[in-house]
Structure 1
Amino acid sequence: MAQVLIRNIDDETIASLKARAEMNGRSLEQELRNILKSAAPLTPDELVAASRRLRSAFAKEEVDVRAAIRWGRDDEFEDLELAFDRQ
């Protein structure tokens, strides 16, 4: 598991977190783990935004699929021809 060090947390925040941990019957460390775990998953809106960013990044590249397939096949045939020529 990873470790994280967070610096410069004000005293009021720490006191509040310690009180919250005590009310929940947990250590401060466990309380912080729970807080981070519940905050970690992306919301549906964040997932949609990430998806849109990815789609827009790849949409800029126009790929001619047929040409790519032909290019791949041509390379295979060139490799076969070279192999037969060497024999």
Structure 2
Amino acid sequence: MAKLLVRGVDARVAQALKERAARNRCSVEAEHRAILEQALCQTPRRSLAEVLAEMPDVGRDADFARVDDNEAPGIFDGH
């Protein structure tokens, strides 16, 4: 396992790391490892625009047209 040494860390950042580790009931080193793993190794989340762009082009525009409730077939009234 590799060892990392981070120099020149602002005192605010070091204190925030200590506080976060305490909240998560782990050592500063364990919290540091968790933060690095989360930031560097997890699959990044895709934006809504990316998800929509990947949707297949199916159906016709008319299939998705908005229908006025007065014109819609009666789904719940037995028609």
Corresponding letter in the other structure for 2:5: L
Corresponding letter in the other structure for 2:14: I
Q: TM-score, normalised by structure 2?
A: 0.51
User: Which of the pair has more CA radius of gyration?
Assistant: 1
Match of 1:31 in 2: 31
Flag as ranges the 4+ runs of structure 1 deviating above 6 A. none
Q: TM-score, normalised by structure 1?
A: 0.47
What percent identity do the matched residue pairs reach? 38
Match of 2:69 in 1: none
More helix by share: 1
Instruction: Give the count of matched residue pairs.
Output: 45
State the Cα RMSD in Å: 1.6
Q: How far off is 1:44 after superposition?
A: 7.0
Matches within 5 A, 1:1-87: 1-41=1-41, 43=44
Unpaired stretches in structure 2, ≥5 consecutive residues: 47-79
Closer, same or farther: CA 44–29 of 1 in aligned 2, 3 Å: same
